[in-house]
Amino acid sequence: MSNLTIFQDPSNLPTVRRQSKLLDKMGSNGGSLRRIALNTNGTFKRIVGGEQIGKAVPHQLDVIVVDLLADPSRQFYASKYDPNAQATLPDCWSNDGKAPDAKAAGKPASSCAACPKNVEGSGENGKGRACRFLRRIAVLVVGDPSGEVYQMQIPAASLFGKGTDNVHPFESYKKFLMANGEAVDTVVTRVMYDLDADTMKLKFTPVRLLTEVEAGFVDAAQEDPETKRYVGLSVVEAGGATKAIAAPAEPKVIEAKAVPAAPAGNPFGDDEDEEETPAAPVKRPAPKRNVADTTTAKPELKQAMASWLDDGEDEGE
């Protein structure tokens, strides 16, 4: 039985209990991709085909995590970061966090546990580790009726540590949900910039259970083999690059201290812009589960799954 007190916003939307398909992967104890880009100015941007689509969303974004790997990944860049260089593959990376990928060209060791780049002090100027943790998660954006999956990359600073009440770094957040009878694919997750941190850092909190419509989109995404591409790194997705540049240093975040309430409806565009949208998002096949039809859904469901619209002008970084 779910402990509903874990949620920030129980809301009046009709929600549904669903069985998690990620619990076994997470453990009961414990560029062609569409993506949501994190920015040093504290915004989230929707990137499709390398271009920003719609508005930047400030401070926080509500998503549903539909897939992730069992453990955090790792990546290592041998050279210093050059902001003007073309982004390419890391020298070494591991999707499972245990052994280098077979296609990694510059493996320092045969296993992550024995790697000299995975020890404290191996980083630039003798600080931290040269090999960094990260997570690539596949998410749906709350308010998007298309069911399109996006990749969100969570940096190391946002993965580990302890949370307070129901606000946690990601790894702690997963455990917190499981301790309360939920999982990342059964709830709406609010991703927030930590505005008190000195570097770019995210924190995570559960908002509410899924509506029937949202649960149907989650099932459809998890049944789609394409979704798997969003949680790992492969040579194909990087264009077969063989040279690498260093990952950027952890940047400073915005100065604002107040976190506003989550926006209602479509977070990346306004409803009144609908006629200006050049093309509607491609819809996924109807999910196999018995899901409420969005055409006959209650008014509050229609508002929650409002059209995802572009505002026609890209915002600067």
| pLDDT confidence of residue 133 | 87
Q: Report the number of distinct structural domains present in the chain.
A: 1
In a domain, 310, yes or no: no
In a domain, 83, yes or no: yes
| pLDDT confidence of residue 105 | 81
In a domain, 315, yes or no: no
| pLDDT confidence of residue 56 | 94
* Element housing 188 (H / E): strand 187-193
pTM: 0.67
Give the integer Cα–Cα distance in Å for 59 and 38: 10
In a domain, 314, yes or no: no
| pLDDT confidence of residue 110 | 86
Give me 250's structure tokens: 């952890």
| pLDDT confidence of residue 312 | 36
In terms of Cβ atoms closer than 10 Å to its own Cβ (0-12, 13-18, 19+), residue 186 is buried
Give me 104's structure tokens: 């990694």
In a domain, 317, yes or no: no
In a domain, 76, yes or no: yes
In a domain, 66, yes or no: yes
CA angle 203, 194, 308 (to 5 degrees): 70
pLDDT means per 10 residues in the chain (317 residues)? 56 67 51 84 90 92 95 85 69 86 84 88 77 92 91 93 94 96 96 89 95 94 93 62 41 37 60 40 43 37 37 39
| pLDDT confidence of residue 109 | 87
Residues 6+ apart with CB under 8 A from 175: 30
Q: Tell me the sheet residues that pair with 189.
A: 63, 206
Give the range of the structural domain holding residue 22, as residue numbers without chain letter. 4-30+32-304
